[in-house]
Each structure stands twice: as C-alpha cells, then as structure tokens.
Amino acid sequence: MATYALPLHHHGKSKVRLGRVWRDGTVHHMVEWNVNTMIDSDMEHAFLNGDNTGMTATDTQKNTVYVVAQRMSQKCTIEQYAIALAQHFVRTYPLVSKAKIYVEQKPWTRVQQSGLPHDHGFALQGTEVRTVYVTYDKAGTLDVTAGLKDLSLLKTTQSGYEGFLRDQYTLLPETNDRIMASTVTCTWKYAAAPACYDAAYAAAKQGLLDAFLGPGARRRVQPSVQYTLYDMAKNILDRVPTSESIFLNMPNLHFIPCNPVGSSFNNDVYVATSEPHGNIEAVITRKGIAPHCKL
Ligand SMILES: O=c1[nH]c(=O)c2[nH]c(=O)[nH]c2[nH]1
C-alpha cells in the first residue's frame, strides 16, 4: 500500500493590489501596495479528505487585506501594515499557526511645485520598489524583513575587474575602468524594531547608494561587484543598528566597449546589454547571526 506524507502546505492570496489615502486636512498621504498573504494552518484534512472545515478561504484573506488597510487609521509604514495583517490572521482563526505577509510598495512620491510639497499630487519616482516580509506565529514570534528591489544604479568609472583566473576558456580582458550597472535587490532582517521604519529604510537605501557610487571625484577603483556588494551590506549593518542579516542580489549588467565601424573604442561608445548578465548574490550578517534567505 502506498503511503504519503504532507510535509508542507500553506495557502494564501497573491498580488492583492490596494491604494490607501490618509487625509490630514487638505494634505493627503498615499501609498500603493501589492499584498501577498500565506497562512500555515491545521488543514491537513482538506488535502487528505477533501474536508474544508475551518479553512480561511483565500478570498477571505483577500478581503481582509482591505479591511486591515482601512483599520490603519493613522498613516503607517508598509512594515506596520504587514505586522497588523499577520497578527489579525493568527489571532482571529484558531487553526492558523503562522501568517506570512509579503508587501511591495510603489515609489509614489509627493510632487514638489515651485519648491513646495504639493498637498495631494504624487509622481512615480525612481524604479525601486520597497518590500517587506513579515511572519507572525501563535507563540507570538514576529520576524520583519524589510527591503527593496529594482533599484537601478550605474556608474561610468571607478569600477574594474582584474586578477581573475585565466585559462583556455577566458576571453574577457582585464580592466581598471569600466561601467558598472545593476538592478539591486536587497533585504535586511531586523533583530528588533527600529525607532522608525521609514528612517531605517532611508538609511539603508542611502548606505547602498554610498557604497555603490563610492567617493565621487576621488579615485577609488572598486575591484569587483562582489567587493562592492559586501561594502553595501556593511553600510546597512553600520547605519541600521537593529538590522542583523543582509541579503543582496546584484546582476552585473554589462556595457561592452564598442569599436564602431572604421574606428575604435575611445572610452565613449558601448554595446548596452541586459542578457546575459552576471549574477552576484550574498548574505552578510553580524558575527554569530544565522543568515536569512531572500524573503
Ligand atoms: O565584478 C565582476 N565580478 C565577476 O564575477 C565577473 N565575471 C565577469 O565576467 N565579470 C565580472 N565582474
């Protein structure tokens, strides 16, 4: 007789999109979120026997995304919202042992008009999407991992790549001056809540930028994406004291020196590419801390 096991099961709703406006007199605050819910629950009987008794339907989870958004009566961060939603599921449904909430936030930013902030006008600024992954379980354990994705960065110099292994398969010339470009994905797990999630996010993002771009006019060639990535992660650990583990993924988007017909490369024209691209990834933690995975 065949025997089976069900070592993992969870269910949730993906890509629930919402906008939330908080009105402070004539000054409005606005966020657009894409919410993903996933719950662990004692629902083996649904898989084994076709019995849905006690199941929190994914449609119910989707509806709750909007209910909890409305209950956040004060302007809140993506982290505060995700925590509230996770706690709601665990505290409301007896069979739910853990809620896992992932939220992305679009970069809507208040517009400046003649140097003054507009009351209710927003523009999409930049490409980066702010992210959060929150888990909360019946024992009250809360894990918050904040982050960003699609942060597109490029520098036209002070990046190189030399000293790597050469054999019969190696064609790449060494260089101490190249374009470095990437679309950064980064998450940082908190050991404890920061005083302000928005300030911690701003500090983390600035840390990424500062390390990627380097000291500007002062010449300091970065030897590889790997080295730059490590610097970027260290900046977050240094500037966000309650962070404990940093995940970074950095595609190396190649701009290949071009020899135009009848001419040669003069540090000016490149073939821009998106594929294939290098892919550099690492987790950097404080000493003795277990690494977190991407989410
Ligand atoms: O910074 C780099 N790291 C690599 O691992 C690599 N590999 C490669 O072909 N170019 C580069 N650049």
Kindly give the distance from the C-alpha atom of residue 175 to the centroid of ligand 1, in angstroms, as a whole number: 11
Q: Which residues contact 74 (CB under 8 A, 6 or more apart)?
A: 22
pTM assigned to the model:
0.95
> Model confidence over 212-265: pLDDT tens digits?
999 877 788 999 999 999 999 999 999 999 999 999 999 999 999 999 999 999
In this structure, the number of other CB atoms found within 10 A of the CB of residue 86 comes to 27
Predicted pLDDT at 99: 98
Side-chain half-sphere exposure of 95, counting CA atoms within 13 A: 14
**What are the binding residues?**
58-59, 178, 225-226, 252
Predicted pLDDT at 215: 83
Q: Would you list the domain boundaries of the chain?
A: 9-138, 141-295
Q: What DSSP line would sit under 222-272, residue for residue?
A: B--HHHHHHHHHHHHHHH-TTEEEEEEEEEE--EEE---TTS---SS-EEE
| Residues annotated as part of the active site | 13, 58, 254
Residues with CB under 6 A from ligand 1: 161, 172, 224-226, 252, 278
Please name the residue whose Cα sits nearest to atom 8 of ligand 1: 278
List, for the chain, all residue ranges whose pLDDT scores fall below the cut of 70: 1, 294-295
d(CA 271, CA 256): 5
In 89-242, beta strands by DSSP E = 96-105, 108-113, 116-124, 129-137, 142-155, 180-190
- Cβ contact 71:64 at 8 Å: no
- Cβ contact 207:235 at 8 Å: yes
Does the fold of domain 141-295 match that of domain 9-138?
yes
CA 223 to ligand 1: nearest atom = 1
Q: Determine the topology of domain 141-295 in CATH.
A: Urate Oxidase (3.10.270)
Predicted pLDDT at 294: 62
Q: Look up residue 53 and give its two tokens.
A: 């008794």
- Cβ contact 71:92 at 8 Å: no
Task: For tokens 């409005």, name the residue.
Answer: 28
Predicted pLDDT at 63: 98
d(CA 96, CA 53): 13
Predicted pLDDT at 295: 55
Q: Determine the topology of domain 9-138 in CATH.
A: Urate Oxidase (3.10.270)
Predicted pLDDT at 174: 98
**What are the binding residues for urate?**
58-59, 178, 225-226, 252
Q: Please, what's the b/e burial string for 26-65 (b: 16 or more CB within 10 A of its CB; e: otherwise)?
A: eebbbbebbbbbbbbbebeebeeeeeeeebbebeebbebb
Nearest by Cα to 148 from 223, 61, 29, 232? 232
Burial class (CB in 10 A: 0-12, 13-18, 19+), 208: buried
Q: Look up residue 251 and give its two tokens.
A: 């595609």
Nearest by Cα to 181 from 209, 215, 205, 153? 153
C-alpha R_g of the chain: 23
CA 159 to ligand 1: nearest atom = 1
- Cβ contact 221:290 at 8 Å: no
The pick from 175, 177, 232, 252 for probing ligand 1's pocket by mutation, whose C-beta has the most ligand atoms within 8 angstroms, reads 252
